[in-house]
Structure 1
């Protein structure tokens, strides 16, 4: 009996996709273990990676602030971007053996390229702000902004995200975070 592709009238959530794939007896279509963090206890691995990325983000603010002081903010931004692109290309080649993934990304709708623009904005901002207001204040304000935007993305299902309600607990958490970010700007 031939297998027909599943018709999906609306975007499929990760949960629905994993249930569908479990019924079909295989991984997500077009996926492999390196593309899915869920290959080895996904939630724990993702949480651990988030902690490591959090540490890396703070180190990045401190290092980029010093580099920006020494060579200039725009020069530090350009240098970090070139080094990041070179390393990402090497990782792509090492894991995939080709640059096909890069070409596939370039063929996607331009709005999906916003990640690159946002990355430039973040690195520019931490390079400029880290030296002026300190690492903790820079990270605190960025995290506050990220959580507010993330709540809006979840609430309204922006950029292809699933809609997630915004209850009082989340609103209270965002307000407390905003207060914490404001307090981090105060001189000691």
Structure 2
């Protein structure tokens, strides 16, 4: 379980890091060029690692549902929407919305047993957990410093 938690934490940090890099690439080129570059370099990296780790099993695709092949096309939507979301909302707000959406849909898919997942009983505590996260995001985004009528931020003196 500890290994799974550590890998999930690493994945979260890598998603945030990749999002920042994607945003920087998007400042120099268009969103579709960014998406193409990100997915192409990801393809090259994963293909080479797969050849080293899995060898000839890299090319073994037996017993796969045809609709699983849509995963790459879904990835295009993920990268494009994330790049646009960051441009419009900023990194922290965009990522927090993405992660909340991801958690909400995972709860829905698990509870309904959709897409071949084992059906996990729905719990109101799970929904409450998602709502607490949404509340935290709203507090984080809108619960900051008050601004004066002129639009300047009122800075409080520090104790140091």
Q: Please give the root-mean-square deviation of Cα atoms over the aligned residues, in Å.
A: 2.0
Query: 2-side partners of 1:83 and 1:58: how far apart?
Result: 17
Relative contact order, CA 8 A, sep 6+: which one is greater? 1
Separation (CA, whole Å) in 2 of partners of 1:172 and 1:187: 21
Q: Answer yes or no: is the 8 Å Cα contact 2:51–2:58 preserved in 1.
A: no
Cα distance in 2 between the residues matched to 1:135 and 1:187: 17
Match runs of 1:108-119 below 5 Å: 108-119=64-75
How far apart are the structure 1 equivalents of 2:55 and 2:140?
Answer: 45
1:93 corresponds in structure 2 to: 51
Scaled by the length of structure 2, what TM-score is found?
A: 0.81
Per the alignment, residue 5 of structure 1 pairs with: none
Runs of 4+ in 1 over 6 A off after TM superposition: none
Corresponding residue number in structure 1 for 2:155 = none
Q: Look up the match of 1:102.
A: 59
- Residues 187 and 176 (structure 1), Cα distance of their counterparts in 2 relative to 1, 3 Å cut: closer
CA shift in 2, pair 1:184/1:141, >3 Å: farther
Structure 1 spans left out of the alignment, 5+ residues: 1-42
Counterpart contact for 2:100–2:133, Cα < 8 Å: yes
Q: Which moved more, 1:133-142 or 1:109-118?
A: 109-118
User: What number of residue pairs does the alignment pair up?
Assistant: 144
Asked if residue 80 in structure 1 is aligned to residue 38 in structure 2, the reply is: yes
Q: How far did 1:103 drift?
A: 4.4
> What displacement does 1:114 show?
3.1
Work out the CA distance in 2 between the residues paired with 1:142 and 1:134: 12
Question: 2:109: which partner in 1?
Answer: 153
The answer to whether the 8 Å contact 1:65/1:129 transfers is no
Q: Paired residue for 2:151?
A: none
Q: Is the 8 A contact 2:35 2:79 kept in 1?
A: yes
Q: Which runs of 5+ in 2 are unaligned?
A: 145-160
Distance in 2 between the 1:182 and 1:159 partners? 31
For the pair 1:122 / 2:78, whether they are aligned, the reply is yes
